[in-house]
Amino acid sequence: MVMRITYRRDPVKALRRMQRAKAGDITGAVERVAVNPWAPNNNLRPLKGVPNGFRLRVGDWRVSYTVDRDAAVIDVFEIAPRGGAYR
């Protein structure tokens, strides 16, 4: 089951500010996760302190999102460079 992806305002701003190729890599990675969020993936880690929260590594960028199994939604709440993603 493919999950629906929602982006909050700040991740959309981050995607608009970065190079198109990198933004395409990030959105492509999120779309691959949406196809099967529970498939083995070395670039995924659970987030501490965020219920159903995960971190996806795409090069030097980190995508933080939550998964709502009941509603079949992935909610992307942060896209940040590696150094700024964990504050």
pTM of the entire structure?
A: 0.89
Cβ-based burial of 71 (10 A; exposed 0-12, middle 13-18, buried ≥19): exposed
Query: What are the C-alpha distances in Å from 39 to residues 26, 29, 42, 78?
Result: 18, 13, 10, 22
pLDDT digits (tens, 9 = 90+) for 8-56: 999 999 999 999 999 999 999 999 999 988 888 888 999 999 999 999 9
For the chain, the structural domain boundaries read 4-84
In the CATH hierarchy, which fold is given to the domain comprising 4-84? YaeB-like fold (3.30.2310)
Quote the CA–CA distance of 41 and 36 in Å, as a whole number. 10
Asked whether the beta carbons of 68 and 52 are under 8 A apart, the reply is yes
Asked whether the beta carbons of 65 and 79 are under 8 A apart, the reply is no
